[in-house]
Structure 1
C-alpha cells in the first residue's frame, strides 16, 4: 500500500488517470463504467487505500441522487443549452438532474427553491434571476443545500459562482470594432441581472482606454422578452434618425436579433464593407446567432467549460468540501466569433 494520502476525489482522479465524473459514476454504480476503467479505478483504490467522503456524507444527510438545475427562463435557447450541458454531466456522474424555469418571476423562483428542498437534493445548480431575486431567500437556501451559482452571481451569499469574464470579453469586442470601423455605441435595456451592468461598465472602460467617448443607448422595456425590446428600440431609433454610431454593440445577442429585424424592416443594410450602413454585434453566441440574416458577430461564452466546472464544483460540495476550498468564483474568457453582421 502506498503511503501517499489521497484527501479527496479530485486527487484520486488525478492519481488513477480517470476523469472526475467517471470516478463519481463508479462510486455510485461500479458496473456503470467499462471493465477496463473499473479495473484501473480498483487498482488505484488498493494502492492508495482511498475511500470517498461521499459515503459518509450520504449516510449522515440521507441524500438522494437528485440534483436541481434552476434557470431564469428555459425558453431562452442560451439557458436551454447551458442546462443541457449541465444535465449531461450530472447524468455521467451518476446523478438524476431535474431542470426548473423561473419564467422571469420572483414568485416562481422562490416556489422552485421550496419544491427542490422537498426533494432532499444532493445539490443544486442555480442561475438566479439576479436583480429580481430574493437575496435572503437564496442565502438561506445555500446554507442548507450544497449550491453552485452559474451565469449570474449574487454577491455576499457565500456560494461558489461559475460564469463568464465580462471584463475580458467586452473589451475584446470593442477593440475589434474600433480597429475595423467606427467605434461602437452600446445598445442596452434595463438590466435584469448583474451581467448587464458589468458589460456596460466594461464597454465604458474599454472605450475610454482607447480614447473614445462612450455612447450608451438604453431602450424602454423590462422583462425577458429581449427580442421584442430590441426590435421596438431599433424601430424607435431608426424613426428618430438612427444611432449615434454606425456600429452598434448590443448587451446580448437576443437584443441584437431584435435590432436586426428592425433594421431589415427599415431597409438598413447591416454588414461590414462598402454598401452597408450599419454594423451590429452582440454577446453570448446565442444558439440562433449564426442563423440570423446577416449572421451575427458576437462574443462566445464557453458553455462547455462553464458546465463542467459548475458540476465539478457541486460534486466537491456534495462530498463535504467547503465553498472556500472549491474556489468561490471561476470566470472563463470568451472568444470572438466573426460573422457577416460586423
Structure 2
C-alpha cells in the first residue's frame, strides 16, 4: 500500500522539509540551472516525496522574464475569436510563453480593466483585438508605452505609430466576394455590421470602392439604427425580416459584412419562403457572408463566403510579439501584415 505523501502548502514548509534555504528553492523554481547540480538533484528528490504544487504566479512574478503574454479579445463566444485565441495560444506554447486571456465583452471599461490586470500580472507583451470608436484608447496607449503590443483582426479607433498590426486584407476579401456575386447574378446590396470595430467600416468602404470602380451603384442597407451590440444574428434577422415583410430585396443579392449577419438574414429569408427546398432549384434571394464561420457550411442553404486565414493571422501575431519581447526594444518601423481570404462557393449564392 502506497504511503501518503505529506502535504506541503508553502515554500517555507517545503524548504524546511527538503533542508535547503528558501532563496535557493526560489531560484530553483525560476531556473533549475541557477543552482548547483547536486542541490538541484536534492530538491528534485525531496519534491518526489512530498505533496506540493508550486504556485504558478509566485514562481513567475519575481522573474525578470515572466514568460507570460496577454491576449484581449472582445467576445469569447464568437467562433472567430475563439479560433484566433486557440491559434495564438498554440503558437505561444511552441515559443515557451504562457497565455493569459482577458475578454472585454465589447465594453470599453472592461477593455481598460483587462489592460490594467495584464500590467499587474507582469506580462511581457499583449495581443489585442481592439474595440472600435467605443474602445479604451487611453488604456491601450498606456499599455503600448509599457509593453510590446500587436493589434490583431481590427485596428484601434486612432492610429498608433509604434504598434504592429496583423489581420485580413479586407480590400481583397470584399473585392473577391463582390466580384464573384456580380459575375454570377445581380450585383449585391450590402448589409453592414454595427460599428464595434474597424472591420465594419473597412469592409463597407471596400464594397463601395469596388462597385464604383466597376461603374455599379453601391447600395448599403440602412444601418443607422444598428444597436451597438455583438448580437449580429438578431440585428440582421430583424432588419431583413422587416424589409422582406415589405416585399423589398426578395429577389436581391445580399452581401453581409460577416457570416453571423448572414445567418440572421438566412433565417429571415426562410421565414418569408425565399428559398426553394427542391435540390438544385434556384432561390429567389442570394445571401453571402464573410469569415467562413465554422457552421457556415452546415447552414440551409450552405453559406457562400470568404475564409479568413485565421491560423496564419494568429501565428504571425504571436511571432511578431515574441520578436518584440526578445529584442527588448520597439522596432524601428511598425509592421503591418494582412493576408488574403479564400472564396468558398456554396448553395446560398
TM-score by shorter chain over 0.5: yes
Number of equivalent positions: 289
TM-aligned CA distance change 1:130 to 1:323, over 3 Å: farther
Residues 142 and 265 (structure 1), Cα distance of their counterparts in 2 relative to 1, 3 Å cut: same
Q: Is the 8 A contact 1:229 1:258 kept in 2?
A: yes
Match of 1:336? 343
- Say which SS state the counterpart of residue 82 (structure 2) adopts: helix
* Cα distance, 1:106 vs structure 2: 1.0
Q: Relative to structure 1, is the Cα distance of residues 72 and 294 closer, same or farther in structure 2, using a 3 angstrom cutoff?
A: same
Decide whether the 8 Å contact of 1:67 with 1:98 is kept in 2: yes
Q: Give the equivalent residue in structure 1 for 2:326.
A: 319
Structure 1 residue 294, shift from structure 2 partner: 0.9
In the TM superposition, what are the counterparts of 1:284-295 in structure 2 within 5 Å? 284-295=291-302
Partner residue of 2:23? Answer: none
**Secondary structure of the residue that 1:216 maps to in structure 2?**
coil
Q: Secondary structure at the match of 1:249?
A: strand
Deviation of 1:115 (Å): 0.6
What are the equivalent positions in structure 2 for 1:183-198 lying under 5 Å apart? 183-198=187-202
Whether contact under 8 Å (1:294, 1:341) holds in the other structure is yes
Conserved 8 A contact 1:270-1:279? no
Instruction: Give, in whole Å, the separation in 1 of the partners of 2:94 and 2:313.
Output: 16
What whole-Å deviation, never above 9, does each CA across 1:48-85 have from its counterpart, x for those lacking one? Answer: xxxxxxxxxx9x98221111111001111110011011
Deviations 1:102-143 (A, max 9, x none): 111111111111111110001111101122112122111111
Contact residue 244 and residue 250 of structure 2 kept, 8 A: no
Task: Output the CA distance in 2 between the equivalents of 1:75 and 1:199.
Answer: 22
Change beyond 3 A, Cα 1:245–1:191: farther
CA contact (8 A) 2:124 2:148 kept: yes
Cα pair 1:151 1:162 within 8 Å, conserved? yes
Counterpart CA distance in 2 for 1:305 and 1:321 is 24
After superposition, the CA RMSD in angstroms is 2.5
For normalisation by structure 2, the TM-score amounts to 0.78
Report the TM-score, using the length of structure 1 for normalisation. 0.79
Residues 75-94 of structure 1 mapped to structure 2, 5 A cutoff = 75-94=77-96
Matched, 1:283 2:287: no
Q: How far apart in 1 are the matches of 2:302 and 2:188? A: 18
Aligned counterparts, 1:114-193, within 5 A:
114-154=116-156, 155-157=158-160, 158-193=162-197
Q: Is the 8 A contact 1:162 1:309 kept in 2?
A: yes
Match of 2:287, SS?
strand
Give unmatched runs, 5+ long, in structure 1: 1-27, 32-57
After superposing the two structures, state which structure 1 stretch, 176-185 or 272-281, moved more.
272-281
Q: Mark the runs of 5 or more structure 2 residues left unpaired by the alignment.
A: 1-29, 34-59
Q: 1:201 aligns with which of 197, 202, 205?
A: 205
Tell me if 1:255 matches 2:261.
Answer: yes
Distance 2:31 2:94 in 1: 11
Query: Structure 1 pair 191/245, CA: closer, same or farther in 2 (3 Å)?
Result: farther
Task: Tell me, in whole angstroms, the C-alpha distance in 1 between the residues paired with 2:173 and 2:275.
Answer: 26
**Does 1:66 find its partner at 2:68?**
yes
What's the secondary structure of 2:327's corresponding residue? Answer: coil
Moved over 3 A (4+): 28-31, 270-275, 321-327
Q: Give yes or no for contact 2:66–2:123 (8 Å, CA) kept in 1.
A: yes
Point out the structure with max Rg over C-alpha.
2
